[in-house]
Amino acid sequence: MKSLLGPIKLEQQRIALVPTMGALHKGHVSLVKMAQQQAEVVVCSIFVNPTQFTDPKDLEKYPRPFEHDMKMLEEAGCHVVFMPSVTEMYPTPEEWHIDLGPAEFLLEGEFRKGHYQGVTQIVKKLFDAVSPDVAFFGQKDFQQVLMIKNMVAWFKLPVQIVSCPIIREDDGLAMSSRNIHLTASDRENALVLSRALNYVKDNFSALSIPELIENAKALINATPGVALDYFSIANGKTLLPEEDKSHQDIVVLVAAKVGETRLIDNMILR
């Protein structure tokens, strides 16, 4: 990677990185397309990172359709694919712990302890390998983008982080590599997550925040096969529950297990 990208750096061409764990879908392609608009060279990494999985079974069953992924990236016009092995990224055991701020322990952090340490550990390694000017991440992992921005600030890295809008199926389901694990009935039940988010958006001016949360939770809890982890109307910077509807940065976040598959979704209100 270094020898390949070195001459490009010397020519002062902008390099964009789209870090992924593979099992690509149209959401990933949208990141590549946005990267093409902001850089001359687009690098996409595919690496299923073991340090961010809190459940070994989840790591084991994570989809790895590499041929499909390569074809998608080729068609999308990606210039370079970086697909390192685990031993290449983690040649020796290492300790990693940085201060990501209090938001690390909220929402996803509460359900997947240590997850964001693993995420920031691998993203730092990818940044070191590629030295991108700009990196693109999907908004679906809203908290992850926040943690990566905090990691970039911690190390004072010269890379711009861009969060790209969620790409949804026609019926509203947020695209995710995990969706392939949904049965037909799970797939139908999963639609309640985007319905609950839209309910909050549509009724935001009319109802109080506690009412919005209570009604959205009731909608989800009434759906068979869906076990809610959290539903939060939060400050987009701190992820703490937001009580002031006039605040300029508000996001609604939800996580639930649908059948055997855990899904997350969110919607930025302001």
What is the side-by-side strand order in the sheet with 80-82?
80-82, 41-46, 15-20, 134-138, 160-164
Helix (H) or strand (E) holding 128: helix 115-130
C-alpha 194/C-alpha 254 separation (Å) is 9
Structure tokens at 238: 């701190």
Q: Quick one: which of 162, 143, 181 has its CA closest to 266?
A: 143
Looking at residue 144, the DSSP 8-state letter turns out to be H
Task: Select which of 25, 28, 115, 181 is catalytic.
Answer: 28
Phi-psi category of residue 154: left, alpha or beta, with phi > 0 → left and psi -120 to 50 → alpha:
alpha
Contact between residue 177 and residue 63 where contact means Cβ atoms under 8 Å apart: yes
Q: Calculate the alpha carbon distances from 54 to 113, 119, 154, 234 in Å.
A: 7, 11, 24, 24
28 is catalytic: yes
Question: What is the side-by-side order of every strand in the sheet holding 250-258?
Answer: 226-235, 250-258, 261-268
User: Which of 46, 44, 30 minimizes the C-alpha distance to 168?
Assistant: 30
**DSSP 3-state assignment of 233?**
strand
Q: How far apart are CA 211 and CA 192, in angstroms?
A: 18
Please identify every residue annotated as catalytic. 28
